[in-house]
A and B are shown apart, each in its own frame.
Chain A
Amino acid sequence: MKIAVCIKAVPDPKNSGNIQFDPETKHIIRDNVTPVINPTDLHAIELAMALKEQHGGEVSIFTMGPPSAERQLRDALAYGADQAFLLSDRAFGGADSLATAYTLAKGIEKAGAFDLIIAGNESSDGGTVHVPSQLGEWMGLPHLIEVVGCELQQDGTLDVRKKMDENYMDFQVKLPAVIAVSKSINTVRYPNIRGIMAAKKKPLTVFSCAELDDLDPALAGMSGSPTRNGELKEFSFSRNCEELTGTPEEIAQTILAKLRATGISF
């Protein structure tokens, strides 16, 4: 079974408080923030590794990003994936979800034929949950998001359970297909030192815009993005704020009194 996993390098959510925004240039200043693999994408990698262990095959990791994203691809390889592909070109910059999904689709198609493409459901920074569905559309493949369970059947179909608001829905999907998995689908096994060492020698291919000969540059990057960022507005949520001071005991008493005053009983 050939599996592709799409990952995204995001600012480390653990120190996202360090992200600064320059309202003049509208740029995110992430100097103090180390990029990591988007947390949900680790569950996509885990699922791919579990499927490979059960059914054999090969796992390839894909990302679109700057050259520095090689680091996150190497991290992904440490989980046991076989090879990685970095789609990197200035022409891919400024892409919205539609153009990102297009570029990923072209990169995956260039790398070969895959039975299953797995993505993390949402990124911790953008969080739009657009790319997996749009990747499926660009590739002409069936796609499902919010996947919380999946099992490969003997006949090659994939049984998928997806979240539907507070309930679930079960589907059978003919492969090849694209699925986006939620964190609850599995528990990530973190790589050991052997995995980390092996990752350094695994093949990592960089595709530039010119190397993706099937890619129409007009559909990638900023030129392929229908959305544009406009003004940045400062927003005020301000309320008449009262500060509680004193010892923790005094504050605790006041908080509990306020809760009771609103009619909450405990």
Chain B
Amino acid sequence: MNEYQNLWIYAQAEGDTLQSSFYELLAKADGVRELKACKLAAVLLGSPSESVLEEVKRSGVDIICIAEHDKLKTYHPEYASMALSEMATKYHPEIIWLTANSAGGEIAPTVACRLKTGLVAHSVDAYLNAEGALVHTVPAFGGRFLSEELVPVQRPIMATFKSGTFERQEISPRPDVEVLREHITALDSYVSNISAGTLVVNSAEEESVEKAEYVVCGGLGAAEEELYAKLKTFATRTNGVLGYTRPVIDMGLETTEEKLIGTSGKSIHPKVYIGFGVSGASHHLFGIKSSNLIIAVNTDPDADIFSACDVKVVKDCDAILTALLTELNR
């Protein structure tokens, strides 16, 4: 029998709140469990609250692995990575999935390096290929392609997924959920060269592009100062949240990735998405695919976004934006 088995999902919790992306990964993992006839485990670091533990028990996993230590109570990248590596070394999961948020995105490459294994970043799908090997797909260059990524030899196979990649599904709870508690002894005497962290709550709360019902997005074709200013005015005037693609950051028009839309940024699911000068690289299209209505304005009739939208406008962005602003001021 294969020494490596089961699929682990790293479940993050804050107090009594289990991060919702756990359920998204679980929905996809349930399918893999069926195909591979393996078990699903949720891995928690620190000491989860009773209510979180109960919630995970009812989520549909077969096993709950808890790495226990006082040093795991607040996020510390080195301690968290040590704990997950220790757990994986002891229990030999075949697959480990993490959410590609700040914690997961830092722990995943660290653990992959400690275990000397392969990690797929920002995957959008997972399935078994004709040979029965687990494949993760990632959007590739060119706009219309998905590249299959494999980890043929090393185990565990690791992958991260942006939150919003999969839709949550109801999975029936398993009758006898096994709970494994492991005290991470390696942490007892170990002192990191990184101090304990202090959380600084960002008081300048900005509207989130992930939760927005209506998103206006600027792409390369709108990544020019005057045009981008018009786009901003349009978004404000119509009460939309303005997001963007990477060229807008590269041109210095935005400085953070806070509202970068796509699989390397935020995946969104608004009622309406309207893109100006967005060409539609697959990274971006995967990030907007859950939008109810997609409107795209681009001068290039061959832009890839036109094969992924509901309403297409092959026109100059400046002309359309100017007309929109004129209409709004009427």
By a CB distance below 8 angstroms, the chain A residues around B240 are 264
A98 touches B149 (CB 8 A): no
B140 touches A145 (CB 8 A): no
A63 CB–B CB distance under 8 Å: no
Distance of A166 Cα from B14 Cα, bound (Å): 14
Distance of A232 Cα from B205 Cα, bound (Å): 40
- Chain A interface, number of residues (Cβ within 8 angstroms): 88
A197 CB–B CB distance under 8 Å: no
Tell me, rounded to whole Å, the shortest Cβ–Cβ distance linking A168 to chain B. Answer: 4
A213 CB–B CB distance under 8 Å: no
Distance of A145 Cα from B147 Cα, bound (Å): 26
Tell me, rounded to whole Å, the shortest Cβ–Cβ distance linking B24 to chain A. Answer: 16
Partner of B195, one of A161, A168, A171, A232: A171
Report the contact-size class of chain B (Cβ under 8 Å from the partner).
Answer: 35 or more
Distance of A243 Cα from B315 Cα, bound (Å): 11
Tell me, rounded to whole Å, the shortest Cβ–Cβ distance linking A68 to chain B. Answer: 19
A23 and B119 contact, Cβ closer than 8 Å, known pairs A144-B77, A241-B306, A256-B327: no
B307 touches A237 (CB 8 A): yes
A127 CB–B CB distance under 8 Å: yes
Interface residues of B in 93-109 (CB under 8 A from A): 101-103, 105-106, 108-109
Tell me, rounded to whole Å, the shortest Cβ–Cβ distance linking A142 to chain B. Answer: 4
Interface residues of B in 106-140 (CB under 8 A from A): 106, 108-110, 112-114, 116-122, 129, 135, 137, 140
B151 CB–A CB distance under 8 Å: yes
Partner of A252, one of B116, B214, B306, B320: B320
A165 touches B102 (CB 8 A): yes
A96 CB–B CB distance under 8 Å: yes
Binary interface encoding of chain B residues 57-83 relative to chain A, with 1 for a CB under 8 A from any of its CBs, else 0: 000000000000000000101100000
A20 touches B142 (CB 8 A): yes
A183 touches B249 (CB 8 A): yes
A248 touches B315 (CB 8 A): yes
Binary interface encoding of chain B residues 34-77 relative to chain A, with 1 for a CB under 8 A from any of its CBs, else 0: 00000000000000000000000000000000000000000101
B145 touches A129 (CB 8 A): no
Nearest opposing residue in chain A for B130, CB measure: A231
A54 CB–B CB distance under 8 Å: no
Could you tell me the dominant secondary structure of chain A's interface residues? mixed
Tell me, rounded to whole Å, the shortest Cβ–Cβ distance linking B159 to chain A. Answer: 10
Distance of A136 Cα from B110 Cα, bound (Å): 8
Distance of A240 Cα from B251 Cα, bound (Å): 33
Interface-forming stretch among B174-182, B225-233, B285-293?
B285-293
A28 touches B141 (CB 8 A): yes
B193 touches A241 (CB 8 A): no
A130 CB–B CB distance under 8 Å: yes
Tell me, rounded to whole Å, the shortest Cβ–Cβ distance linking B40 to chain A. Answer: 23
Distance of A158 Cα from B103 Cα, bound (Å): 21
A142 touches B193 (CB 8 A): yes
Binary interface encoding of chain A residues 220-249 relative to chain B, with 1 for a CB under 8 A from any of its CBs, else 0: 000001111111111111111111100111
Tell me, rounded to whole Å, the shortest Cβ–Cβ distance linking B203 to chain A. Answer: 10
B324 touches A255 (CB 8 A): yes
For this complex, 21 residue pairs linking A to B, each with C-beta atoms less than 8 Å apart, are: A16-B220, A19-B141, A39-B250, A127-B122, A134-B109, A143-B77, A144-B77, A146-B102, A163-B102, A166-B208, A169-B199, A169-B200, A173-B194, A183-B257, A228-B149, A228-B151, A232-B148, A233-B137, A236-B307, A255-B324, A264-B239
